[in-house]
Amino acid sequence: MILANAFCLFFFLGEEFYEASPYEPVTSRLSDIFRLASIFSGTGADPVVSAKSNHCLDAAKACNLNDNCKKLRSSYISICNREISPTERCNRRKCHKALRQFFDRVPSEFTYRMLFCSCQDLACAERRRQTILPSCSYEDKEKPNCLDLRGVCRTDHLCRSRLADFHANCRASYHTVTSCPADNYQACLGSYAGMIGFDMTPNYVDSSPTGIVVSPWCNCRGSGNMEEECEKFLRDFTENPCLRNAIQAFGNGTDVNVSPKGPSFQATQAPRVEKTPSLPDDLSDSTGLGTSVITTCTSVQEQGLKANNSKELSMCFTELTTNIIPGSNKVIKPNSGPSRARPSAALTMLSVLLLKLAL
């Protein structure tokens, strides 16, 4: 009985630190959105003008120009700012739901610009931090222990799935160029945005325009003998090079261009014709078939291609068939008659006639 209880306790406490993501892996990239972000962030433009721009404010203005983005953003701002009572600043459950709807239904070209905009000053960074209305959706009177918060998250199947997906796509990898799994910034940014609107909602910890630090609303006080695991869990947010690089890269519009690690294929080259094809005896240089056509025919025959798949082969057959006498292997020039005498036969007859006259 004691062994059974000990086994149950071990099983309960020994849950996996990283769980497998239930979502399909993200293989596409946001190169176009990264380039769009670089335009709005002023990368490559006058540094003085770019430094004076509030890119987070520009992102909010762009959202207001899109009907769907404006509608859903106005909805979550209204809900998250609605005070319930003097002791209850808002309805967090409804605020989280409105945030999930915004990030799930609005295209990432708008949501990412608001979440990951690059900043050069305090005002811009504070606007970025306020994007999700943190006083309602993020902050609380006290910070819970991070492992306790993780436990609460894992009791909800959707929050648990989003957390597992974040770990799968943002866990720091020291075997890649970007420190992200498969060098995929998009997967990490999407997983981060997917956790907003749950108990594990992350956000920027301060308004620093240069140092990017994000975290869920928790700490590791009171972790006891689980403090090491708690610190490791928290560092996946606060000291994560993959997540930091992904946010900075999007803000600067500098997505990494990594070649796929698949088998390399060499481009097929046209076969080189070593020898000039021999022409029939009665085919002169003035024939309508040029050298290029003969070379094309030879190349096509060597490759064994089909006529209906090659423009050159079709031309080759057209030229040849119009210059071949049916039922014969003899090639003639177009418009040449069958009774045309050969020059060699005329010379032979002239020689015989001159010989008879001499005799």
141 touches 131 (CB < 8 A): no
Name the residue range of residue 124's domain: 54-252
- Answer whether residue 316 is part of any domain: no
pLDDT above 60 (res 75): yes
Q: What are phi and psi of 177, to 5 degrees?
A: -65, -40
More confident residue, 95 or 324: 95
Interatomic CA distance for residues 324 and 297, integer angstroms: 15
More confident residue, 139 or 345: 139
pLDDT value of position 116 = 96
pLDDT above 80 (res 47): no
Which domain CATH number covers 213?
A: 1.10.220.110
Query: Which residue pairs from 336-343 have beta carbons closer than 8 angstroms and sit at least 24 positions apart in sequence?
Result: none
pLDDT value of position 358 = 56
pLDDT value of position 26 = 73
Put residue 38 in one of left, alpha, beta given phi > 0 → left and psi -120 to 50 → alpha: alpha
- Answer whether residue 14 is part of any domain: no
The pair of structure tokens assigned to 266 is 């060499």
The pair of structure tokens assigned to 203 is 């956000």
Q: What is the pLDDT of residues 151-170, one digit of tens each?
A: 999 999 999 999 999 999 99
Beta bridge partners of 216: 202
- Answer whether residue 331 is part of any domain: no
Beta bridge partners of 85: 88
The pair of structure tokens assigned to 262 is 């698949």
- Answer whether residue 233 is part of any domain: yes
Residue 85 DSSP SS3? strand
Q: What is the pTM of this model?
A: 0.64
pLDDT above 70 covers a percentage of the chain that reads: 59
Mean pLDDT computed over 257-264? 42
Interatomic CA distance for residues 324 and 330, integer angstroms: 6
What count of other Cβ atoms lies within 10 Å of the Cβ of residue 214? Answer: 16
The H-or-E segment that residue 202 falls in is strand 202-204
Q: At a CB cut-off of 8 Å and minimum separation 6, what does 185 contact?
A: 29, 30, 34, 178, 245, 246, 249, 250, 255, 256
More confident residue, 196 or 306: 196
- Answer whether residue 79 is part of any domain: yes
39 touches 46 (CB < 8 A): no
The mean pLDDT value of the chain amounts to: 74
pLDDT value of position 348 = 58
pLDDT above 70 (res 336): no
- Answer whether residue 177 is part of any domain: yes
Confidence of residue 220 (pLDDT cuts 50, 70, 90): very high
- Answer whether residue 162 is part of any domain: yes
pLDDT above 90 covers a percentage of the chain that reads: 51
Q: DSSP assignment, residue 326?
A: T
- Answer whether residue 279 is part of any domain: no
Q: Is the dihedral of CA 144, 147, 151, 156 positive or negative?
A: positive
Q: DSSP assignment, residue 327?
A: T
Beta bridge partners of 145: 219
Q: How many CA atoms lie within 13 A of 159 on its CB side?
A: 17
Mean pLDDT computed over 253-281? 42
pLDDT above 60 (res 48): no
Domain count of the chain?
Answer: 1
